[in-house]
Amino acid sequence: MTLMIQPVILCGGAGTRLWPESRGDRAKQFLSLTGEQSLFRQTLARTPAGSDFLPPIILCGDSHVATVREQMDDREAELVVEPMPRNTAAAIALAVARADADTLLLVMPSDHVIADVPAFHAAIAKGARLAQQDWLVTFGITPDAPETGFGYIAGGGPLGEDGFAVDRFIEKPPLADAEAMLAAGGYSWNAGIFLFRAARMRDAMLTHCRAIFEAADRAVAAGMRDGDALYADAVEFEKAPSDSIDYAVMEKDDRVAVVPVAMGWSDLGSWQAVHTLAACDAIGNAATGDVFLHDSHGNLIRAGGKRVSLIGMSDIAVVVDGDDILIMPLKRCQDVRAAAKARE
């Protein structure tokens, strides 16, 4: 890779799918779920400063600024603070408004896992070539299961050896459709990772979602600088319609490319996903903290400073955080919001 690419790290999410650890100001991206480092730190480490990557633009909410600063570990970056959540299109518009026209922006969620970073970098190199040809590039995860929790991307004609023109985006499918796509091949999961020339995205936004870009652009112009942070202007930014970049731009544009990549990606979208990625003992237990297990297998236990003892339990999640103790079968972890809503 000879081009310089500027990472844009989307760090505005909160989310309760990993409640009780993820809640309030302690968002999922700041948690250490797959080892020592938080997901945010892992995301930063994936685009090391130096010959390939420029200092990143980090987009986050006001309540996350302190944690972002702490977890940046003195790495140079520009913080852009969203006064309120306005979804990914407006967040990316803030970065586009800040960036130089010809910079290639690599947009990444801050709360995903990528196990195979060299594969990611190889995909970035491919994507960069396409982005220079004014493709809006999305990275498509090669599916290994008929997941119904992700959107899918149907690849069209090949673009040399770098990727494919996107035929269409498919919303989270029913299981039968997911199975059919897995069997057919040529489909990818939409992981929300994008690469494009800043000016190209600016033009696309002005075409497809002008109100969003203009609000973000004015919010940057009227923003307040505090050291390395730019606080976008609230009055202006609030005018931005709330929409995802997928809906607002990618699905509408006719020059979108997908670079398929198998890189050990996970969005860690549930405690079950955390269990799947965690280091387990020989009988499938992933235990963090002071855990006693007797005749128990396939469990995820995060003891959170307490002492958890399991007898004869299988395939459950136990997550302790402060005074909260969550217990559920791993396969029921999509229902965690029920508890989060009742408790918060």
Q: Please tell me the distance from the alpha carbon of residue 175 to that of residue 177, in angstroms, as a whole number.
A: 5
Contact between 332 and its own copies per CB under 8 A: yes
Q: Where are the alpha helices (DSSP H) in 101-224?
A: 117-132, 175-184, 198-208, 210-221
Give 36 or 323: the residue with its C-beta nearer to its own copies: 323
Give 20 or 56: the residue with its C-beta nearer to its own copies: 20
Q: Is 333 helix (H, G, I), strand (E, B) or coil?
A: helix
Give 172 or 307: the residue with its C-beta nearer to its own copies: 307
Give 8 or 300: the residue with its C-beta nearer to its own copies: 300
Give 18 or 198: the residue with its C-beta nearer to its own copies: 18
By CB under 8 A, the count of residues binding its own copies is 31
CB 244 within 8 A of CB 88: yes
Question: In the window 1-20, what residues touch its own copies (CB under 8 A)?
Answer: 20
CB of 288 to its own copies, least distance (A): 14
Contact between 300 and its own copies per CB under 8 A: no
Q: Please tell me the distance from the alpha carbon of residue 73 to that of residue 22, in angstroms, as a whole number.
A: 21
**Structure token pair of residue 132:** 């220079």
Q: Please tell me the distance from the alpha carbon of residue 130 to that of residue 106, in angstroms, as a whole number.
A: 13
Q: Please tell me the distance from the alpha carbon of residue 270 to that of residue 280, in angstroms, as a whole number.
A: 17
Contact between 24 and its own copies per CB under 8 A: no
Contact between 287 and its own copies per CB under 8 A: no
Contact between 309 and its own copies per CB under 8 A: yes
Give the interface segment with its own copies, choosing from 62-70, 106-114, 213-221, 315-323 (CB under 8 A).
315-323
In the chain, what is the straight-line distance between the N-terminal and C-terminal CA atoms, in Å? 46
CB of 312 to its own copies, least distance (A): 4
Question: In the window 65-94, what residues touch its own copies (CB under 8 A)?
Answer: none
The answer, yes or no, to whether the previous bond of 20 is cis (omega within 30 of 0) is: yes
Which of 122, 165, 211, 327 touches its own copies by CB under 8 A? Answer: 327
Contact between 306 and its own copies per CB under 8 A: yes
Contact between 335 and its own copies per CB under 8 A: yes
Contact between 25 and its own copies per CB under 8 A: no
CB 43 within 8 A of CB 9: yes
Contact between 342 and its own copies per CB under 8 A: yes
Please give the full DSSP string across 220-246, using - where no structure is assigned. HHT-EEETTEEE--HHHHTTS----HI
CB of 282 to its own copies, least distance (A): 19
CA 162 vs. chain centroid, Å, equals: 23
Of 150, 116, 115, 153, give the one whose Cα is nearest residue 137: 153
Residues that bind its own copies (CB under 8 A): 20, 292, 294-295, 303, 305-313, 316, 318, 320, 323-329, 332, 335-336, 338-339, 342-343
